[in-house]
Amino acid sequence: MSVELVVIAPGLIGLLLLVGAGGRVVEAQGHLDGAARDAARAASLAISPAQASQLALQAAQADLGATSWCAARSIQALVTGFPAVGQLAVAGGDVTVTVQCDVNMSPFTVLGFNPAMVFSGRAVAPLDAFVERIG
């Protein structure tokens, strides 16, 4: 009985670690996708490219606070598609926001994961047609 336990125990521990790693990956990706969605919506309401970047980062940081697996100072938000200063906003234009952060995967290095992995989420939102933009 004890020999069987010694043979089976490492496999069970490995299976539990694999389930835990999968759960962390799915949860981190879900948080990032939600943060990207909220950041894109915030950026779509901005009046300038600088404000769009600022609002997107603030929205992402608010979503990825203490409840996510993201490292505190690793959250970034990249805004693309926002009309540049001096360029007229095209009706029906879209803004795209990519949010990324570092996720601590150190408990799962035994399975081959890097201690810190970069995860990213991307979302697109239409520019709000009722906002007068600086041009």
For the beta carbon of residue 113, count every other beta carbon within 10 angstroms: 17
Distance CA 133, CA 135 (A): 6
Mean pLDDT, range 97-102, rounded to an integer: 96
Tell me the per-residue pLDDT of 44-91, one tens digit each, with 9 for 90 and over.
Answer: 999 889 999 999 999 999 999 888 889 878 999 999 998 876 555 555
Q: Beta strands 116-126 and 76-80: pairing type?
A: unpaired
Is it the case that residue 101 has pLDDT exceeding 80? yes
Residue 70 burial (CB < 10 Å; 0-12/13-18/19+)?
A: buried
Q: Is the dihedral of CA 80, 82, 84, 85 positive or negative?
A: negative
Give the global pTM. 0.85
pLDDT at 4: 83
Q: Is the dihedral of CA 42, 63, 36, 100 positive or negative?
A: positive
Mean pLDDT, range 2-27, rounded to an integer: 90
pLDDT at 82: 86
pLDDT at 72: 77
Tell me the per-residue pLDDT of 42-56, one tens digit each, with 9 for 90 and over.
Answer: 999 998 899 999 999
What order do you get walking across the sheet with 76-80 strand by strand? 76-80, 94-104, 116-126
Mean pLDDT, range 87-103, rounded to an integer: 81
Mean pLDDT of the chain: 89
